Structure 1
Amino acid sequence: MLIRVTKEPRRDIMLFIKNGTIYTMAGSVIEKGSILIKDGKILEVGKDLVAPLDAEIIDAEGKMVLPGFIDAHSHLGMWEEGIGFEGDDGNEAMDPVTPHLRAIDAINPMDISFEEAYMAGVTSVVTGPGSANVIGGMSVAIKTYGRRIDDMIIKEPIAMKIAFGENPKRVYYGQKKSPMTRMATAAILRESLYKAKSYLEKKELAKDDPSKMPEFDIKMEALAKVLKKEIPLKAHAHRADDIFTALRIAKEFDVDITLDHCTEGHLIADYLAEEGKGAIVGPTLSNRSKFELKNLTFNTPRILHEAGVKIAITTDSPVIPLQYLPICAGLAHKFGLDEMEALKAITINAAEIVGIDDRVGSIEVGKDADIIIVEGNPIKDIDYKTYMTIINGEIVYR
């Protein structure tokens, strides 16, 4: 193993990958293909490319070359490995409405889970607050390699976490305060969005008269990003009725939304196809730890895909360790999901659903050079090996 510790990705590195079977996730598979990487970006992709004299040559003969894997829903770095409360920074479970919280202020990129992730080929994740609160705060999309979170950001904020179902009910029932019912969860979310809408309207009316400007409210400022469609709601929803409630409220306020977990999505696949929203499915490699998981099955990705729903697969790390993301995709394939669709669920589909496909998710000219080279097939072979991980054009694992 080789790990280069640098302050930020080195932009002077030129790499030339040759002889690999390239799964671009943007078209056909290229046999005996080549990739030229310069200044952290993909410069050329194809067959019969000529290597520059000053490039480091990487021979990928007999190996698969893939875009780095992406987990569209995780809590990486917010629940640190093996230390309990001291590293538990994902839920501010004292107030059900905390939209102003930002994941970047809690992530520890030096936690061992980051190294384990990129060693397994996971190069990008969306990570953010947990689901204790009705509104949990703002998630971020990051690369999995680095020492300073500010240097690892792909997009921040990327979404506003909201939660339905059992989690907020359980947390606040224990405190004997609202929400204790699904009705209250929905009502609290609506109330917060209405307040944010009113706050925005007052600011708009007062723009020519500062004396009429409403008092600054950091929570409303955060929710304004949702109402202005700068970021979507990121909805924790396992059960079918909770998924529909999430969609109902998003329509009421004309805001964007992603459906995360979607455990019972296979029961309502036809409806979700009509809605036209992507589904981030998982964590499925786990037990039925609560009632709303009673219909947990690896059939869900296949059924949703066959209905026409774009799917991504998530570990919900640390629920499932992030390095097992390709195993989760492999189990979905075992239950009938097409092999290429399983790969898309942890690459380009994940990137498109969360809105970072301009940077990552496929091997295309101009995109970030986040590339993995593997021995074996990560979807089919339990003993596949990561030969090399490249992030931002730098070899971070060999």
Structure 2
Amino acid sequence: MTDAVAIVGGRVLTGLGDEFEGGAVLVSEGRIEAVGAHVDIPEGARVIDAAGCWVLPGLIDPHSHIGAHEEANGPAGFDGSEVSSPVTAGVRAIDAINIEDLAFRDALAGGITSVVVKPGSGNPIGGQSVAIKTGGGRSVDEQVIVPSLGMKSALGENPKQAYGERKQLPSTRLGIALVIRQALFDARDYAERRDRAREEGAPFAVDLGKEALAAALDGTLSWEQHAHRHDDIATALRIAEEFDLRLVLNHGTEAHKLAAVLAERDVPVIYGPILSSRSKVEVREADPANLARLAAAGVRVALTTDHPVVPIGLLALQASVAVRAGLPRDTAIAAMTSAAASIAGIDDRVGALEPGRDGDVVVWTGDPLDVASTVREVLIEGRTVYAAPTGAGHEETA
């Protein structure tokens, strides 16, 4: 008796650039054991015939609000931004996620098995993101990849609007940068006093917000910077250099204007969403070709739906649009798999069909960049969590 499952006979794309026509993926005990054109299948393994299909790693959306901005639940389901204060570094996105959000079903139907859920962009410093699987658990805690992954920060129009309407700091770009810098200076001072108290065995009052910011200062948490306009991106680079932050740009509408600088400093960009309208001034130059320009300059890129801005199940469609605008198809596949995992810091677990990584595998009816292709079956850690029957409709299997 074995718990192994083998997906055989399909066109296997590993997410790392390798392809095997008529290949196989073997998953055992929830992890990938073997991938290639010739894989020995153990006796008793469950076999999934993928002949005529494409087999890929589970896709990753590294910037979403799934479960925190719930589908079809109105204001009762909006828990993404704690805008009662400009700095809410202590809040954690995991505490806002409703695992029964309908969007998780849509994610699986779109081949997405991992997401990074982030606080919203109403605050200069919004709180901590979480990486989770999109299915397979009885609660969100059973789907966690990393409970606190990064620190969300926002520049530009959103925090300006949120606090400008109240006529309080920060109401301008100057004020936003001030709030961020002051919070980081305060956290640095806090960490020094905390460490000194520990050395001396003295009592010390814990501040959860400053603890989280201290983790960003020491590089434990990435600095996830919401920024669209080139001047905001320049500010993000400036602050990251001042405090030695591990910067990841989110959205990056005008990041192509600083592509050479981003490439030199190895600052990755989680780009998008691509399918949304130019709904505000700072995205007036939105163009999927900008993503191709970033990649051509050597910037590491991933794709985001920013769900619910764009429905999460349309991640692969966004990749198709990016390819039409000039992004190489291998780069587009990586932007939803291996590169997305690397940028998010979860590539030890997900993002590629490679021995040792989680057995998150998606069987597509055809090329996932072809809009006519659909997801036939999704496995998370070797267990089928979604299956679409032949014909219209679909059903989930727990």
Same fold (TM over 0.5): yes
CA apart distance, 1:174: 1.3
Whole-angstrom distance in 2 between the partners of 1:230 and 1:36: 33
**Where do 1:326-365 residues align within 5 Å?**
326-365=316-355
SS state of the match for residue 207, structure 1?
Answer: helix
Query: More deviation in 337-346 or 50-59?
Result: 50-59
Q: Specify which of 356, 378, 391 is matched with residue 380 of structure 2.
A: 391
Whole-angstrom distance in 1 between the partners of 2:265 and 2:229: 16
**Where do 1:1-398 residues align within 5 Å?**
13-145=3-135, 146-211=137-202, 213-379=203-369, 381-398=370-387
CA apart distance, 1:259: 0.4
SS state of the match for residue 147, structure 2?
Answer: strand
SS state of the match for residue 199, structure 2?
Answer: coil
Tell me which amino acid in the other structure corresponds to 1:383. Answer: A
Unaligned runs of 5+ in 2: 388-398
- Which string of whole-angstrom CA distances, capped at 9 and with x for unpartnered residues, describes residues 206-239 of structure 1? 223234x543212111111111211111000000
Tell me which amino acid in the other structure corresponds to 1:373. Answer: V
CA apart distance, 1:50: 2.7
* Aligned match of 2:391: none
CA apart distance, 1:13: 3.0
Change in CA separation of 1:142 and 1:61 when aligned onto 2, cut-off 3 Å? same
CA apart distance, 1:147: 3.3
Is 1:199–1:214's contact at 8 Å kept on the other side of the alignment?
no
Tell me which amino acid in the other structure corresponds to 1:393. Answer: G
Tell me which amino acid in the other structure corresponds to 2:367. Answer: N
Unaligned runs of 5+ in 1: 1-10
CA apart distance, 1:387: 1.1
Tell me which amino acid in the other structure corresponds to 1:397. Answer: Y
Tell me which amino acid in the other structure corresponds to 2:373. Answer: Y
Tell me which amino acid in the other structure corresponds to 2:207. Answer: D
CA apart distance, 1:199: 0.6
CA apart distance, 1:284: 1.8
CA apart distance, 1:276: 1.2
Whole-angstrom distance in 2 between the partners of 1:189 and 1:341: 33
CA apart distance, 1:159: 0.3
Whole-angstrom distance in 2 between the partners of 1:191 and 1:12: 56
CA apart distance, 1:32: 1.1
Whole-angstrom distance in 1 between the partners of 2:229 and 2:368: 30
Whole-angstrom distance in 2 between the partners of 1:234 and 1:28: 30
Tell me which amino acid in the other structure corresponds to 1:210. Answer: G
SS state of the match for residue 340, structure 1?
Answer: helix
- Which string of whole-angstrom CA distances, capped at 9 and with x for unpartnered residues, describes residues 292-322 of structure 1? 0010001011100100101101000010010
Tell me which amino acid in the other structure corresponds to 1:178. Answer: L
CA apart distance, 1:12: 6.5
Tell me which amino acid in the other structure corresponds to 1:391. Answer: I
SS state of the match for residue 336, structure 2?
Answer: coil
Tell me which amino acid in the other structure corresponds to 2:255. Answer: G
Is 1:41–1:368's contact at 8 Å kept on the other side of the alignment?
yes
Whole-angstrom distance in 1 between the partners of 2:226 and 2:132: 20
CA apart distance, 1:30: 1.0
Is 1:16–1:57's contact at 8 Å kept on the other side of the alignment?
yes
Q: Deviation above 3 Å: which 4+ runs of structure 1?
A: none
Is 1:142–1:155's contact at 8 Å kept on the other side of the alignment?
yes
Whole-angstrom distance in 2 between the partners of 1:332 and 1:50: 37
Aligned CA RMSD, in angstroms, stands at: 1.3
* Aligned match of 1:4: none
Count of residue pairs the alignment pairs up: 386
Whole-angstrom distance in 2 between the partners of 1:26 and 1:376: 19
Tell me which amino acid in the other structure corresponds to 2:309. Answer: V
Whole-angstrom distance in 2 between the partners of 1:267 and 1:208: 47
Change in CA separation of 1:330 and 1:176 when aligned onto 2, cut-off 3 Å? same
Is 2:303–2:335's contact at 8 Å kept on the other side of the alignment?
yes
- Which string of whole-angstrom CA distances, capped at 9 and with x for unpartnered residues, describes residues 257-313 of structure 1? 100000001222222212211110001211111100010001011100100101101
Tell me which amino acid in the other structure corresponds to 1:269. Answer: A
Whole-angstrom distance in 2 between the partners of 1:105 and 1:309: 33
Is 1:369–1:390's contact at 8 Å kept on the other side of the alignment?
yes
Whole-angstrom distance in 2 between the partners of 1:183 and 1:388: 49
Whole-angstrom distance in 2 between the partners of 1:306 and 1:208: 49
Tell me which amino acid in the other structure corresponds to 2:267. Answer: K
Whole-angstrom distance in 1 between the partners of 2:54 and 2:300: 24
Whole-angstrom distance in 1 between the partners of 2:243 and 2:166: 30
- Which string of whole-angstrom CA distances, capped at 9 and with x for unpartnered residues, describes residues 189-220 of structure 1? 00000000001111222223234x54321211
Tell me which amino acid in the other structure corresponds to 1:275. Answer: R
